[in-house]
Amino acid sequence: MPSLPKRNNLIRPLVRKLHAYVPGEQPKIKGLIKLNTNENPYPPSPRVLRAVKAAADGRLRLYPNPTAQALREKLAKFHRCAPENVIVGNGSDELLALAVRAFVEPRSAVLGAQNESRSVVQYFRPSYSLYPVLADIHGATKNAVPLKPDFSLPSVLELKRGGRWDFRAALSFITTPNAPSGRGYATSELEQLCAAQKGILILDEAYVDFAEEDSLALALKHSHVLASRTFSKAYSLCFQRVGYFVGHAELIAALDKLRDSYNVNGLGQVAALATLDDLPYYRASFRRIIATRERIASELAELGFAVLPSQANFILCRPPRLAASEWLRKLRERKILARWFDYPEVRSYLRVTIGSDAEMNAFLRATKTILRSV
């Protein structure tokens, strides 16, 4: 194919300069232990698998329900709110992107210093590395405010004194429990932030089922707060891409205007509905993953690792005697994948997803061998 004529002029400058989000790798290597993308090691419930298989027939030729209405209704019942308070997305990532489009002005559209906050996408650092990418895609202004050195959340008073947090920012994301630190934030501290914040606040609760508390009630209490949830992690449905937001009906309606007509695929809707019919199965799997997480965290600590307290299905840990990137490489040689982020705050750590007990035992064995060799 001939090269594009004056190629750079055909592509918007914003897109040319953009650094796309880098997802964790998904290699197809036999015998691989994947502890790099926070997937659940346990399969969806048999009921969910049966429902998906039963739905995979000639009906695949039809469009799915455009608003995922049955799922919205079931989620509304589950969270004791109205279907108008729920929007379902093609993974929660889709809804996070829609939120930027719905609530944030591109920088170029904002006139006057007094309106600058209208184009601000704000988040703590470190947190989910998709947020800055979504801001860049939209031409928004990023405001990344550091967490405290132990990755805990600064109080409202500390944020006011620090002067970097914008209480008028158009959109703020808080990952709770946080990724990649794993730290959970108390609803009481989040509530103070919600009360102080003037712009939209999204509580990204992708990992909340592994935590001690959830803060979804804040989204039903404060009209400018949205809670983001996903079926990917705790409900073993990464493959199906189903996530949702809960919040004020007017915010939900605004997002609804922007989404693709058939944004949630039909089998995803079927799988998510069946998931909600089998919650005891999943609660047992959360308990199992939490027990494994606590065991692995204490075994690593005994080996001299610094392990952050986690309320998610992963742990952030810093190895003794070798660099995290070296530990990553040596694990990979043994067909074990973990995730390393090349950001200043977390460069000396690896984020390790909690796999099955057998996978985590193999991870521990490999880690001990690696430590002996340095």
Using CB under 6 A as the binding rule, whether residue 176 contacts ligand PLP is answered as no
Using CB under 6 A as the binding rule, whether residue 179 contacts ligand PLP is answered as yes
Strands 336-337 and 120-125: unpaired
Site size toward ligand PLP, by CB under 6 A = 13
Closest approach, Cβ 321 to ligand PLP, in A, equals 29
Q: Which of 41, 184, 243, 266 binds ligand PLP (CB under 6 A)?
A: 243
Using CB under 6 A as the binding rule, whether residue 83 contacts ligand PLP is answered as no
316 and 308 in contact (C-beta within 8 Å)? yes
Say which amino acid occupies 65: N
- What residue has token string 């392990």? 307
Closest approach, Cβ 8 to ligand PLP, in A, equals 31
Q: Write the binding mask 110 to 139 for ligand PLP: x where contact by CB under 6 A, - elsewhere.
A: ------------------x-----------
Q: With respect to ligand PLP, which residue has the nearer C-beta, 246 or 366?
A: 246
Q: Which residues, listed in sequence order, are joined to residue 89 by a DSSP beta bridge?
A: 243
Q: With respect to ligand PLP, which residue has the nearer C-beta, 230 or 236?
A: 230
174 and 189 in contact (C-beta within 8 Å)? no
Closest approach, Cβ 230 to ligand PLP, in A, equals 3
Task: Give the angle 211-231-233 at the CA atoms, nearest 5°.
Answer: 55
Using CB under 6 A as the binding rule, whether residue 209 contacts ligand PLP is answered as no
Alpha carbon 24 to its chain centroid, in Å, reads 13
Nearest residue to ligand PLP, by Cβ distance, number only: 91
E strands, the chain, where? 33-34, 86-89, 120-125, 141-146, 171-175, 200-204, 225-230, 243-247, 306-307, 314-318, 336-337, 350-353
Closest approach, Cβ 208 to ligand PLP, in A, equals 10
Q: With respect to ligand PLP, which residue has the nearer C-beta, 110 or 252?
A: 252
Q: Which of 175, 181, 240, 353 binds ligand PLP (CB under 6 A)?
A: 175
Closest approach, Cβ 87 to ligand PLP, in A, equals 13
Task: Give the angle 145-147-151 at the CA atoms, nearest 5°.
Answer: 155
Q: Which two tokens stand for residue 313?
A: 């299905």
Buried/exposed 340-372: b ≥16 CB within 10 Å, e otherwise:
bbeeeebeebbbbbbbeeebbebbeebbeebbe
Binding site for ligand PLP (CB under 6 A): 38, 91-93, 128, 175, 179, 204, 206, 230, 232, 238, 243
